[in-house]
Every structure is written in C-alpha cells, then in structure tokens.
Chains A and B, each alone.
Chain A
C-alpha cells in the first residue's frame, strides 16, 4: 500500500525518540511526508510530556538531516496527547500513525490512563507502535 503521510506522536521521552527515528525510516522508504504532533492540555503548572523549544529544535534538525518533507505541530488547546494525535491524523489524512510504547501495568493504566491505547483504538488508519 502507498503511504503518503505519516503522523508521529511525540513527547520528550526515549520511546518517542525511537518512534521518530522509525517514522523517518518508513518515510524514506515510502517517500512520504512526516507530521510530528506534540500536544498538551495546558491545565497543569508543569507537564512532562510538553516538548521544550530545544526538543523541537532537535527534532527539526533530525528531520532536516534525513531529507524527508516534514512539519512539526505543537498545540495547546485543552486536548491531551492522544486527542491531538488523532485530530491531526484526521486533518492531514494520515495513512500511518507512529507512536512510542512503554510498559505500563494494568493498575498504572487504570490510574493514569494510556495514551497509546486510546490512539490504537481510536485511529482510522494503521498504527505502528515502536519499542525503545
């Protein structure tokens, strides 16, 4: 199948970095473009999943060096990471979503929620889950 647009769910964590690198490989293989999405709800004083300007600069450098067509989105609109990724996938008509996976126990998922699970279940296209 042809993949023209890949959406990457990004946050400053090792699994997301691995997801980004894997997405770059896929994009180079299929000649697709990448849309990197970093969303945060903006309702906390400090958010660990929010990418700083340095993080985003590093992402830009990585994508520029790889030579793929890319776009980086960072929205703070009161929606959390999973919703942002799914919304972006709808908007750009993504053929593939790439996310990073980390181990979370059943109780952890119960208490803290699982972004990956919501993206997997809510996506309209294929989802590639990458381990760090």
Chain B
C-alpha cells in the first residue's frame, strides 16, 4: 500500500468524531504534562494504559501519540519562561529561550517554538508516512539474528549515550535486563529470579516498572532534596507572536532542525538530548548574528524546538516498522500495542493498515490542534505552573498506585511499585539513567526470543549471529558507539564553552 493512498484512507479514519476527540484529549494532556517539569509523556502514557481495556486500538494509540507530540510542544513553554526544561528535549531551548524571555521577548520565543514544532512535526510525520513502506520492504528481509543485532545496538547506544558515564548507562541496561528476566521462561518452563515467591512467576509488569521509575522515584527524589527555593516569575505578557524579522530568521532554522531531528529519531540515540544539541551547535555555526548566541538568539530556540518534534515523529518509524523502540516513550507505546495483542513490526503495515495510516493522519491533525492550543493559549499553560508541587505530586503518586493496582487487582503490584520506586530514587541520586533500564526491561525478553530462534535455526552454531552483512554492520556500529560518547561529550563541552554557555549547559545537564 503506497504512501499517498494510505494517507488518504488514513484521513478518512482519523476524521471520525470519536478519533478526533481522542486526539484532542491526547494533545491537551500531552501539553500539560510537557509543561510540568518532572512528569513526562512516558509516565503519562503508562498511567493511561488501562484505557486499552475498553477503548478501540486506533483511538487509544491516537491519544498516546498525541500525548507524545504534545509533550514536545509543552516542554518549550517551561524552558522559555522558567529556565527549567519541562522535557529533556527542551534543554537547549532553555539556554536561548529564557534569555529572550528575560529581555522581554518571551512572546517571540514561544511563537517560534510553537510554529517551528508544527512545521517540523508536519514534515516529519509526512516523511514517516512516505518512508514507512520502503523501510518495511527492507525490514521484511531481516531474520532473527538481524533483529537481535538491532536490539543489541539499541542496548549499547542507549546505555552509552545517557547518564553520567558509560559504565552507569550499561549498569542501568543490565538492571533492566535482569528485571525483564524475572518470571517463568516461556520455552523451558524454568522459574527465573522468582526467589520462591509465587506472585513473581508472572514476572514484573513493565507498566509497574515504568510508573515506578518515572513517578514514584521522582516524587521521592523531590521530597528528599527539595528545599523551598526561589520560585521563578512569569515573564509573559500577552499572546505569542513574532515580527517579520523573527520569521525570516526562524524558518531556515526550522527546516534544518527537522532535517537533523528526524533521522536521529529513527536511530537509537536514546532520546532528544543529542539531536537538539546538534541542532543548537549547527545554528550557532551558521548564524549571521553570532554575538547574540548566549544572550537570546531566536535561531537557538527555533532549531532545537523543531528538532525535538521531528525526533518524536522519527522515533515512531522504527517502532511501527520494526517494533524497535528508540526512546522510553516509544517503549511504552510498544507496551500499549502489545496490550491489544498487536505486535508492531514489518507485518504491521500488512495486517493493520487502517491502524497505521489512521495513526499517521491523526498525528497530522493533532499537530494542527497543538498549534492552535499553544499559540493563543500559552498564557493558560503558563498558569499550570502555579500549582503547588506538593499537591501535584500527591495526585501523581495516587494515580500511580491506582494504576499499579489496576493491572492485576493485586496489592503485591503496589509493593513492587514501591520497591522499584525506591530503586529508581537511588539511581537518580547517584546519577544512573533510567531510560536504559526501561529499554532493557522491555527489549530484553524480545532479544532473548530472537537469540533462541537464531540459535535454533542454526542448530546451536553461534557464528550464525554474525553471518549476514546486516549483523556485521550492526556489531561494528556497536564498537563505534562505545567509543563515540566520550568524544561526543568532550565536543559538547568544548562547543558550549566556545559559545560561553558552559555553566548553563552543565546546570541543565545535571537537572534532567
């Protein structure tokens, strides 16, 4: 089914009132969640997974994807107004955006962020729609050894590129693999890591792990370290809008940001920090106003914001075509697919074309809704930040416990939630990244299945794992990836130093 025809059919599905309503709820929730620091789209989708019990697949997935996109829009609002990134992808926006806000140009910063996000999201989603059939054709030729190689690449990249150090990232992936292994092994019937507790024979539900790591650990961490700090003050007067000069400087940055964000979203670089940094560095090099960088240059907001939205659309590509999540949020959406018994992968486009094209079309509509929500109503979102955090986190913790209980109607899951939450707090405290753990926990069992399949096909011959060109290329990439983070970090720091924003950058790096 080729792109244009599929997209037209998709619009027919997405334009139904029910799906439009779900898209609207999704983008609304996503923006709100993006605006609030400490809560992200992955957590929100995880908490909302119980709706998959009663709602149609298209509607639920449209809502979840809407949350993903919405969070990318909302994160820029806090970054610009409060210098606190709402999402990790909005870190770079905070550097220039907040400086613009302080010099009274908050309206322009917010406008360029919203419009840039719209432009990037639209282009990237269309690219997703047209490229998906081609990628699927390639993906069909992949065997178990190739899938295993892909997942190993994902583990390695996510482990190496996130967190304070490579060792910590890998430790986090390893912990995730262990948690994913708990339970009865499907093929041999052996109980693994259950410690004789019958409840653990089913394993630990990934939803519990995600909610615990994102919500409970954040709540405990905030409670442990939060002292009353100087609250920031809103710098916004009126609506978001831009002058002609701002437009002229922004639109090339939007296009460059999209070009950087979309391909990098499709490969496992573990989220949007690296693409947005690349976008910022590119804008810095190509700008005609270099003296403004570090003091509020509009390209420094336009580029990274376009990048993080294109990144979100790009992340959907491997999710839908290969079944490989490249970020924590994509991993949760994979779980959502599995709740319906749908396995994303090359056959998804064959078996469920309505679902995929409906989703893509709904994302385009959702993008437009987000533009309308974010330009005139940005003052409303800014008001969300006036909620006292104790009330906010009380609500989040309540929802989390309810969510954990509702999975199996068992109190044991709530205890698991608390235990994993405590683990997550310790990880946060000592600088271990959380996203690799989740990717390890979700992909671990899948990787194991593929490994066993590959070995079964080759009758136990381990060299089958590196026999195809794809696997050789993938494992070579792994070696490169392990060497790259050190260089990346040094380059990041050097560039930040050059621009003179090193202090800002380091502060933001440790914040997220």
* Complex partner residue of A50 from B81, B231, B385, B387, CB under 8 angstroms: B231
Kindly state whether residue B78 has any CB partner on chain A within 8 Å: yes
Which residues from 9 to 48 on chain A have a C-beta closer than 8 Å to any C-beta of chain B?
A: 40-48
Interface pair B231/A44, CB less than 8 Å apart: yes
The reply to whether the CB of A78 lies closer than 8 angstroms to some CB of chain B is yes
Q: Judge whether A92 is part of the interface by a CB distance below 8 angstroms.
A: no
Residue B288 at the chain A interface, CB threshold 8 Å: no
Contacts of A48 in B (CB 8 A): 233-234, 386
User: Is A45's CB under 8 angstroms from B228's CB?
Assistant: no
List B contacts of A47 (CB < 8 A): 231, 233, 386
Interface string of A44-80 (1 = CB under 8 A from B): 1111101010000000000000000000000011100
Is B141 interfacial (CB 8 A cutoff)? no
> Does B286 have its Cβ within 8 Å of any Cβ on chain A?
no
CA distance A42 to B230 in the complex (A): 6
Tell me the complex Cα distance, A38–B229, Å.
14
B376 CB–A CB distance under 8 Å: no
Cα-based distance from A116 to B505 in the complex (angstroms): 42
Instruction: Determine chain A's interface SS by DSSP, over half rule.
Output: loop
Instruction: List the A side residues contacting B227 at CB < 8 Å.
Output: 42
Closest to A75 in B: B228
Instruction: State A46–B101 Cα separation when bound (angstroms).
Output: 14
With an 8 Å Cβ cutoff, the count of chain A residues facing the other chain is 14
Which chain A residues numbered 63 to 120 have a C-beta less than 8 Å away from chain B? 76-78
Cβ-defined contact, B233 with A76, below 8 A: no
Q: Are B228 and A46 in contact, with the CB atoms below 8 A?
A: no
* Alpha-carbon separation in the docked complex, A8 to B234 (Å): 24
The number of chain B residues touching the other chain, given as a range, is 20 to 34
Q: Is B388 within 8 A of A46, CB to CB?
A: no
User: In the complex, what's the smallest C-beta–C-beta distance from B380 to chain A, in angstroms?
Assistant: 13
Contact yes or no, A45 B385, CB < 8 A: yes
In the complex with contacts A44-B386, A44-B389, A47-B386, A52-B228 CB distance below 8 A = no
Q: Is the CB of A41 within 8 A of B233?
A: no
Q: Which residue of B lies closest to A52 (CB)?
A: B233
A40 to B229 CA separation, bound complex (whole angstroms): 9
B297 → chain A, closest Cβ, in Å?
Answer: 23
- Whether the pair B228, A41 counts as a contact (CB closer than 8 A) is yes
Interface digits, B382-399 against A, CB 8 Å rule (1 contact, 0 not)?
100111111000000000
User: Within 8 Å of chain A (Cβ to Cβ): is B82?
Assistant: yes
- A42–B234 Cα gap in the complex (Å)? 14
Question: CB distance A44 to B385 under 8 Å?
Answer: yes
B37 within 8 A of A: yes
The residue of chain B having its C-beta at the shortest distance from the C-beta of A45 within the complex is: B385
Closest chain A residue to B382 by CB distance? A46
In the complex, the answer to whether A45 meets B233 with C-beta atoms within 8 Å is no
Q: Using A47-B233, A48-B233 as known contacts, list a sample of 13 further A-B pairs with CB atoms less than 8 Å apart, ordered by residue number in A.
A: A40-B231, A42-B228, A43-B226, A43-B228, A44-B231, A44-B386, A44-B387, A45-B82, A45-B84, A45-B386, A46-B232, A47-B231, A76-B228
